[in-house]
Amino acid sequence: MSVVAVVPARGGSKGVPGKNLRAVGGRTLVGRAIDAARASTAIDRVVVSTDDAAIADEATRCGAEVVRRPAALATDVASSESALLHALGQVGFAEFIVFLQATSPFIDPADLDDAVARVRSGEADVVFSAVVSPVFLWSPGDSGWQGVNHHASVRLRRQDAPPQVAETGAFYVMRARGFLEHRHRFFGRVVPALVDEHLALEIDTEQHLLLAEALAGAENGAS
Q: With H, G, I as helix, E, B as strand and everything else as coil, classify residue 5.
A: strand
Mean pLDDT in residue range 121-131: 97
pLDDT tens digit sequence for 200-212: 999 999 999 999 9
- Is 105 within the bounds of a domain? yes
pLDDT tens digit sequence for 71-106: 888 888 889 999 999 999 999 889 999 999 999 999
- Is 57 within the bounds of a domain? yes
pLDDT tens digit sequence for 33-48: 999 999 999 999 999 9
Any catalytic annotation for residue 155?
yes
pLDDT of res. 172:
98
Catalytic residue among 61, 68, 120, 155: 155
Q: How confident is the model at residue 150 (pLDDT cuts 50, 70, 90)?
A: confident
Domain span including residue 174: 3-130+166-222
- Is 151 within the bounds of a domain? no
- Is 161 within the bounds of a domain? no
Domain count, the chain: 1
Q: Does 223 score more than 60 pLDDT?
A: no
pLDDT of res. 198:
86
Q: With H, G, I as helix, E, B as strand and everything else as coil, classify residue 90.
A: helix
First to last CA, the chain: 33
Mean pLDDT in residue range 163-171: 94
- Is 154 within the bounds of a domain? no
- Is 159 within the bounds of a domain? no
pLDDT of res. 200:
94
- Is 12 within the bounds of a domain? yes
Q: Does 131 score more than 90 pLDDT?
A: yes
All residues at 6 or more sequence positions from 179 whose CB lies less than 8 Å from its CB, including other chains? 84, 88, 97, 185, 187
Mean pLDDT in residue range 148-159: 82
- Is 141 within the bounds of a domain? no
Q: How confident is the model at residue 1 (pLDDT cuts 50, 70, 90)?
A: low
Q: What's the rounded Cα separation, in Å, for the pair 5 and 77?
A: 23
pLDDT tens digit sequence for 46-80: 999 999 999 999 999 999 999 999 988 888 888 99
pLDDT of res. 214:
95
pLDDT of res. 163:
83
**For the domain that residue 99 is a member of, what is the CATH number?**
3.90.550.10
Q: How confident is the model at residue 149 (pLDDT cuts 50, 70, 90)?
A: confident
All residues at 6 or more sequence positions from 105 whose CB lies less than 8 Å from its CB, including other chains? 24, 25, 29, 32, 33, 201, 203, 212, 216
β-pairing verdict for 190-194 and 126-132: parallel
Mean pLDDT, the chain, integer = 93
CA angle 185, 189, 190 (to 5 degrees): 55
Which ranges of the chain would DSSP assign to H, the alpha helix? 29-39, 53-61, 80-91, 109-120, 176-182, 206-222
